[in-house]
Amino acid sequence: MNNDTMSGNWKQFTGSILEKWGKLTNDDLDVIAGQKDQMVGKIQEKYGIAKEEAEKEWTDFSTKHNIS
């Protein structure tokens, strides 16, 4: 996975992302626009977890959903 931007159909995955991380909003996802670092940062911010934990959650999620 590209560390800066996830390729593929970002909009296709937003429903699954919102299901997993309900504290995120559509506006958050529009700003993130497939950028991994921003996604991890937003998960960290909204859920008050460590960066490493947010990265692990995102990696597990993106692997499960074949987001690359």
For residue 2, pLDDT beyond 60: no
3 domain-assigned: no
pTM value is 0.83
Q: How far apart are CA 36 and CA 68, in angstroms?
A: 10
> Residue 39's domain is classified under what CATH number?
1.10.1470.10
Residue 64 tokens, joined: 């499960």
CB 10 within 8 A of CB 34: yes
CB 39 within 8 A of CB 54: no
**Token pair 């490493």: residue:** 52
Is residue 59 situated within a structural domain? yes
Residue-range definition of the domain harbouring residue 22:
11-64
Q: pLDDT at position 4, please?
A: 46
pLDDT for 10-54, tens place per residue?
878 899 999 999 999 999 999 998 899 999 999 999 999 999 999
Region for 3 from its dihedrals, namely left if φ exceeds 0, alpha if ψ lies in -120 to 50, beta otherwise:
alpha
